[in-house]
Structure formats: structure tokens, C-alpha cells
Amino acid sequence: MTTETINESLDDTHNDDHHDHKMTGIKRWLYTTNHKDIGTLYLWFSFIMLLTGGALAMVIRAELFQPGLQIVEPDFFNQLTTVHGLIMVFGAIMPAFTGFANWMIPMMIGAPDMALPRMNNWSFWILPFAFAILLSSFFMESGAPNFGWTFYAPLSTTYSNGSTAFFVFAVHIMGVSSIMGAINIVVTIMNLRAPGMTYMKMPLFVWTFFITAYLLIAVMPVLAGVVTMLLTDTYFGTSFFDAAGGGDPVMFQHIFWFFGHPEVYIMILPAFGIVSTIIPAFARKKLFGYSSMVYATASIALLSFIVWAHHMFTTGMPLFGELFFMYCTMLIAVPTGVKVFNWVATMWRGSMTFEVPMLFSIAFVILFTIGGFSGLMLAMTPVDFQYHDTYFVVAHFHYVLVTGSLFSIYAGAYYWLPKWTGNMFNESLAKWHFWCSLISVNLLFFPMHFLGLAGMPRRIPDYALQFADFNKWVSIGGFAFGLSQLIFLAVVIKCIKGGEKAPAKPWDGAEGLEWTVPSPAPYHTFSTPPKVD
């Protein structure tokens, strides 16, 4: 794709001085309708949530450092695992991607802003309230939700503690925020593309967010439905999930995972987009198989709607159901494989350099693929009976979500930081962040495979003695990984404060409209749309 802009940079800076009615202080951030400000808010919020969820995880790992209950009560342990999961999924990973969408999609498609800027403001600003409500339950007499982030009924209904209503309300707000964010992305991409930018000329990054937004619009209402049923079962005497009243607790799992499985792809498709942008830039070679990447992304999204029950093989499904969901799940390996092969083919015979965004992207491809392998193993129903609800599953989804989604977020953050701040980041400090994270994250999650295979169930505060050795090392990896993330904070703060000035295009192999505007990107970009050939 070749791009050309009309007198972009000079004209733009001139125009910007006119339009730049930024408010000052806190009001700028509260009232902002600017996609870059809102993107920044999303990214900072998600990083704060990452540290919060990480702090909870470190208490979990401290408790699991040795057999015996040393630090927390079992019930509080369950609260920690529950809120850790909810915060990381809804507070860290998803808002980070929405932040990327806000910052980059208008700049990549040559739009002046998101299509619905006021809604954009609202969809961000309700999020802090959602998480304040969720976290406040830690300070209530009953404690925080303690039924796991998957909140299976009836543990989350009849047998829940007193804070369930707060949990339900918080999830509703998160859902509203996500739906609004997703609608905004869809409307922006459909209507505000620069003249000449047809769908098949959009950067793959934009494609993955486009498809993800549709997934969100499809499944967040399902989540809203299931938490509402949970609410009425708990407080209003309905029996959706209670056999005594004609309901079925397994129906809860069907509805939850009908949301939950597409949700998994909501958290990984944007990662594919980011990595597909970065690898070509540092291999100095166009992305291999652009159109097959688009089709593979769409196939993964469609398949995600017909595999949900692979989370439920042990619930007592009929043989036919088990076979259907096993075959469909195995099929997902095909488009996912295509993606991995395309990334490798992009690197093949390129001219590679290894700046930090590339390091994180390469680590993403390798470690995400390891997560994919364990996913393939889990897809095999007979063996899933052994893996299910063990640390093998914990290892699997952390490889996909931490070394997958989170690493892609870091890759993207380092890639676009010069564009966002106008300064280059400190390369050697960033490399420390990468190498410390890479080593510690594998110490943290790789031995979990062994723990799961040896038979350690997940979500237990104490364990039998044969699991002691690995848990010790896992905990050490956990502390090291948690602390390593503070290096990232240092890199970002240093980069905002100053550093070598970044040119408009700091990476010589980078492509796309965002590199045609100056660094830092002016407050308003593409007030006049560029022309794309």
C-alpha cells in the first residue's frame, strides 16, 4: 500500500493552532473529546489496573510460595483470584486495546477523530467508577466477590457473599463502556476512511480492531444478560440456575462461555494487529499474505462463536456435543497457524533489526505459539478431562494473555511512544524491561504446565507436598515479573519528560499514515483527509 498526503505536515500544524482549544488542568481530561487524549486516558488507566491486578497476583503467589496457609485465609484467597482475573481481563487488557484503537485508528485511516467523540469521552469515564465499585467490595464486611472470574452459579448466587450486587453493577458498567467503545470503532472505520482507502487497503491493525469491535457488540450483551440473571437469582427469587426451581446451573456456563470464548479472541485479535504492524517494519519487508491474514482473522472470529463448550467438557455433555466442540476447537488451529506462518514468512529473508518493539513482537510470536500448542492439547476432549481446571489451563491462558496480549501491548507501546510523546525512549532501559520480563515470565508460567500435568487443581490456596518445588520457583518468577513492570513505568515517564527528539518516522521500515504526521502527533491530525492510492 502506498500512501501520499497533501502538504500534510505544514498545513496541519498551521491549522492546529487554530483548533487547539485545549482546556487546562483536570478539565482537559474530564471534558476531552479528543481521540488522542482519550487514548492516553485509556492507556494510563489500563496500566494502573495492570499494577493493581498484579499486586493481587503477587499476594496469591506469596501465599502459594510454600505449602500451608501462611498469609491469607482461603476465602480471601478466592477473592484475590476472582478480582485479579476480572481486573486483568476487563481493566488491563481490554482498555489498553481500546486506548490503542483511539490513538491509532483515526491516524491510520486518515480521520480527524473518532466518529462519536462525546460518546468516546463517556465510554472512558464510566470505567473508573466500575472498578472503584468492584474494588470497594474488598473493604465491605462481606468481602469482594469470591467465586472466580467465571462466577459459576450457584456459587455466585445462593452461596455468594453480600457483595454480588456490586459485582453485577460493576460488570454492567464495564459492558456498557465496551459496547460504546466498539460501536465507535465500527462507525469510525466504516465512515471516516480517507478517500482511496478501500477495506482491503486498510492496515491489518485496523482490520483486527474492526473485527474485534463486532465481536464485542455481539457478546457483551450476552454477558450483561447472564449477570442480570445472576442478580435476579440471588436477590429476586428467580431460578434460572437452580434445579429446585426448574433451572439448570450448567445453563449458566453455556451462556457465560458463549460470551467468554469470543471474549478470549477480543483480547488476542488486536494483538495480532499490532504484531502484524511491527514485524514488517523491522524486517523491512511487507507483511506476507495480507489478504490471507484478513480472512484468517475473520475465520477465527466466526469460529469463536461455535466452540464455547470446550470450557465445559466435564459438565456432563452428550457424546455428540463433545465431538462437535472438539472438532470445531481443533479447526481454530488452522487460521491461527496461517497467521503464525505468515509472520515467519514476513521475517524470512527480511533485513531484520531488533529494536524493543521487535523484541516484544518476536517473543509474542514464539510464546503465543506455545500457548496455542497447549490450546491444541486442551482441545482434545479425552485429554481435557485430565487437564481441565488444573494449572495446565492456568499456564495455557497466561501464555496467551500475558506473553500474548500483554507483550503485544508493550510492543505497540514502544513502537508508537515516539509518535505519542515526540521523544525517543531510553533503549537500554527498555531492553532491561524486555529481558527481565521475558526471563521472569517464563519462570512464572512455564512450570505451571508441569504442576497441572502432575495434578495440581487451580484456585486452591494450599497444595500437596509434591507440588512444592515448582510453586516456589513460580512464585519467584511472579515477583520478578511484577517488579519488572516498574521498569516500563520508568521508561514511559522518562520518555514523556524528555529524551532524544523523535523524527516523524523514527523506524525506517515503518509504513502507514501515522508516520506522515510530525512527532509528537499534533492535537488535531488529518483535519483535511489525505489521499491514499
Partner 1 sequence: MNRGNQCWLMGAWLLLTSLFSSSAWAETQLNLTKGVTAVSREVYDLHMLVLYICTAIGIVVFGAMFWSMIFHRKSKGAKAADFHESTKVEILWTAIPIVILIAMAVPATSTLISMEDNDNSEVTIQITGSQWKWHYKYFDQDIEYYSVLSTPREQYENQNGSFAGNGAEKSEDYLLEVDRPLVIPANKKVRFLITSDDVIHSWWVPAFAVKQDANPGFINEAWTNVDLPGIYRGQCAELCGKDHGFMPIVVEVKSAADYDTWINEQNALTAQAADAELASLSASMSKDELMQLGESTYMAHCAACHQPTGLGLPPTFPALKGSAVAVQGSVADHISLVLNGKGMMPPFGKQLSLKEIAAVVTYERNAWGNDTGDLVQSSDVKAAGEE
* 455 is a contact residue toward partner 1 (CB under 8 A): yes
CB of 35 to partner 1, least distance (A): 30
CA distance 123 to 114: 13
Q: Does 468 bind partner 1 (CB under 8 A)?
A: yes
User: Binding string, 152-171, against partner 1, x = CB under 8 A?
Assistant: x-xx--xx-xx---------
Picking from 45, 50, 128, 36, the residue whose alpha carbon sits closest to that of residue 88 is 50
Binding mask 475-514 vs partner 1 (x if CB under 8 A, - otherwise)? -x--------------------------------------
Catalytic residues: 84, 113, 149, 177-178, 261, 263, 265, 276, 310-311, 336, 339, 458
Buried/exposed 299-333: b ≥16 CB within 10 Å, e otherwise:
bbbebbebbbbbbbbeeebeeeebebbbebbbbbe
Q: Which residue among 11, 20, 327, 500 contacts partner 1 (CB under 8 A)?
A: 327
Instruction: Spell out a b/e string for 187-204, using b for 16 or more CB atoms within 10 Å of the CB, else e.
Output: ebbeebbbeebeeebbbb
Does the footprint of partner 1 cover residue 382 (CB under 8 A)? yes
Report in angstroms how near the CB of residue 329 gets to partner 1 at its nearest. 10
Q: Does position 225 bind partner 1 by CB under 8 A?
A: no
- The answer to whether the peptide bond before residue 249 is cis (omega within 30 degrees of 0) is no
Q: How far is the CB of 197 from partner 1 (least distance, A)?
A: 19
**CA–CA dist 36, 210 (Å, integer):** 19
**Identity of the residue, 469 or 500, whose beta carbon is nearer to partner 1 in the bound complex:** 469
Q: Which part of the chain contacts partner 1 (CB under 8 A), choosing from 41-49, 60-68, 301-309, 512-520? A: 60-68
Distance, C-alpha 260 to centroid of its chain: 13
From 530, 533, 532, 483, select the one nearest 7 (Cα to Cα).
Answer: 530
Nearest to 40 by CA among 133, 90, 89, 103: 103
Q: Are 214 and 179 in contact (CB under 8 A)?
A: no
Alpha-carbon span 214 to 468, nearest angstrom: 44
Give min distance, CB of 321 to partner 1, in A.
11
- Is 388 a residue that touches partner 1 (CB under 8 A)? yes
Q: Using CB under 8 A, which of 9, 15, 40, 66 touches partner 1?
A: 66
326: contact with partner 1 by CB under 8 A: yes
- 479-492 burial: b if 16+ Cβ within 10 Å, else e: bbbbebbebbeebb
State which of residues 290, 364, 368, 515 lies at the interface with partner 1 (CB under 8 A). 290
Q: What 3 state SS string does 250-261 have?
A: HHHHHHHHHHHH
Q: Does 377 bind partner 1 (CB under 8 A)?
A: yes
Eight-state DSSP code of residue 376? H
Listed ranges 188-196, 261-269, 375-383, 523-531: which one lies at the site for partner 1 (CB under 8 A)? 375-383
Instruction: Identify which of residues 377 and 424 has a Cβ nearer to partner 1 in the complex.
Output: 377
Site for partner 1 in 128-157 (CB under 8 A): 141-142, 146-148, 152, 154-155
For cell 488444573, the residue is 390
- Interface residue with partner 1 among 201, 254, 431, 472 (CB under 8 A) is 472
Q: Decide whether 47 or 65 has the Cβ nearer to partner 1.
A: 65
Asked if 459 is part of the footprint of partner 1 (rule: CB under 8 A), the reply reads yes
Taking the least distance from each CB to partner 1, the nearer of 420 and 481 is: 481
Residues 172-201 that bind partner 1 (CB under 8 A): none
Instruction: Determine the straight-line distance between the first and last CA of the chain, rounded to whole angstroms.
Output: 8
DSSP 8-state secondary structure symbol assigned to residue 156: T
Window 247-286: residues binding partner 1 (CB under 8 A): 248-250, 283-286
Using the structure block, give the residue that is written with the C-alpha cell 510453586. 471
**Of the candidate residues 349, 493, 497, 533, the single one contacting partner 1 (CB under 8 A):** 349
Number of residues that bind partner 1 (CB under 8 A): 102
The β-bridge partners of 532 are 3
